[in-house]
């Protein structure tokens, strides 16, 4: 397993839609928990999870050459609504 620093500099989407949802929910839960426990580490990790979910790019995944995108599905679910469907006659 190699960690490629040059590949990490490329900002390609590498997080799939289900993982985006999990990261967003987990990040929100950590930020909420940090409000009650006053732990700085929780808010930092939560904000990182929220940022990677929002951008769709994880630098660690890029460095490890990993991707959770489905090969047949788009990175953004809103972009595939009406454009890919064939019109019915």
How far is 67 from 46, CA to CA, in rounded Å?
21
Q: Tell me, what DSSP letter sits at residue 77? A: G
Residue 74, pLDDT score? 56
Asked whether residue 83 is assigned to any structural domain, the reply reads no
Least Cα distance to 49 among 30, 27, 68, 69 occurs for: 27
Query: With bands split at pLDDT 50, 70 and 90, how would you rate the model's confidence at 88?
Result: low
Total structural domains within the chain:
1
Residue 86, pLDDT score? 53
| Pair 56, 67: CB distance under 8 Å | no
For the beta carbon of residue 27, count every other beta carbon within 10 angstroms.
Answer: 21
pTM reported for the whole predicted model? 0.70
How far is 22 from 32, CA to CA, in rounded Å?
15
Asked whether residue 28 is assigned to any structural domain, the reply reads yes
Domain hosting 17: range is: 13-64
What pLDDT, in 10s, does the model give residues 68-86? 888 765 555 554 444 445 5
What pLDDT, in 10s, does the model give residues 12-49? 888 999 999 999 999 999 999 999 998 999 999 999 99
């Amino acid at each position: 397993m190699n960690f490629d620093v040059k590949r990490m500099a490329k900002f390609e989407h590498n997080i799939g839609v289900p993982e985006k949802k999990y990261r967003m929910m987990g990040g929100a839960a950590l930020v909420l928990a940090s409000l009650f426990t006053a732990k700085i580490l929780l808010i930092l990790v939560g904000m990182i999870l929220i940022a990677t979910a929002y951008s769709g790019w994880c630098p660690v995944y890029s460095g490890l050459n990993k991707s959770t995108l489905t090969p047949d599905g788009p990175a953004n679910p809103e972009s595939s609504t009406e454009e890919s469907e064939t019109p019915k006659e």
